[in-house]
Amino acid sequence: MIPNKKKEKKEKPVARAKSKFTVFPVKEAGELMDFLMKIMSGISRTTAKSLLSKRQVLVDNVITTQYNFMLKQGMKVQVSKEKGQKEFNSSVIKIVYEDAYLLVVNKREGLLSMGTDSQKDRTAHTILNEYVQRSGKQNRVYIVHRLDKDTSGLMVFAKDEKTKFTLQDYWDEIVKDRRYVAVVSGELEKDNGTITSWLKDNKVYVTYSSMTNNGGEKAITHYKTIKRANNYTLVELELETGKKNQIRVHMQDMQHPVLGDIKYGNGIDPIGRLALHAFRLYFHHPITGDLLKFETPYPAAFKKLMLKVKEEKVAIEG
């Protein structure tokens, strides 16, 4: 997780990466293809289509490949100065947003965010690096924050070091809403609440929690009960701090561990995975300042657990 860097005075996030594209304001409505041919010194339709297919054209910071995309007055079209990206296909990670500076992805459970000295498995980081390097060997992606291997959901990667450092240095100001959904063991007593504790790793890297300051990192999690059924609870969790294993340890503190949690759970694993998913991420773009909003649906397996089991009617023979 990103460390909190306390500053005496809060500063407004600033753009520190150089522009990687030429920006053209849209002054009147029309199709994207016609706009490109007009503003780029009368290029041919073939050249315009090539720019689109090579993913070098963005509309309001989003890569757009549709030639007949309808532009509205006030939009901005950006043409990348770099070679465009190739199509991306993966069964374990999905790109939900991409521009010249960022990638926002939806990671499946079971995939490491990045490798370690002891774990050299295929990771989200290596998969995305391979993707951007198909358009230039010098290209690479940079980790901004992480999700546990067994947690699924939304992650941000930067395409250059300056964007990475802008996101990390101003993380608390840039991120406006970050939420997870989980299914936990048992039925939560309260509809909502807040858990506060200090988290610290022991010598074997197991995180333990203390309700008083033990010299560890202060962690705050807000929770809201969505549904109770079948001795489970579907719960939405909002992080005020983002510490290692924070949600999993806090659910253990409440004696309602996340289902499928081998490390901090109670052995209950009805769906064969950790029932934790990062479903919402709202943040200001570190370069443009625009508020970007991303959400993914609650996983279908989570919803299925919450379907009430109908009591079978037993006919009584007379």
* Residues acting as catalytic residues: 148
How far, in Å, are 55, 64, 242 from residue 141 at the CA level?
A: 17, 21, 22
Q: Cα separations (Å) of 250 from 45, 66, 184, 256, 259?
A: 57, 46, 11, 9, 13
3-class DSSP string for 41-91: CCCCHHHHHHHHHCCCEEECCEECCCCCCEECCCCEEEEECCCCCCCCCCC
Of 53, 21, 49, the residue nearest 36 (C-alpha): 49
For 99, phi and psi rounded to 5 degrees? Answer: -140, -165
Closest CA to 274 of 259, 291, 286: 259
Query: How far apart are alpha carbons 282 and 284 in whole angstroms?
Result: 7
CA angle (302, 103, 239) in 5-degree steps: 50
- What is the spatial order of strands in the sheet that 76-80 belongs to? 21-25, 76-80, 57-59, 62-63
Phi, psi of 200 (to 5 degrees): -150, 140
Bridge-based pairing state of the strands 152-158 and 102-107: antiparallel
Token pair of 25 as six digits: 């304001």
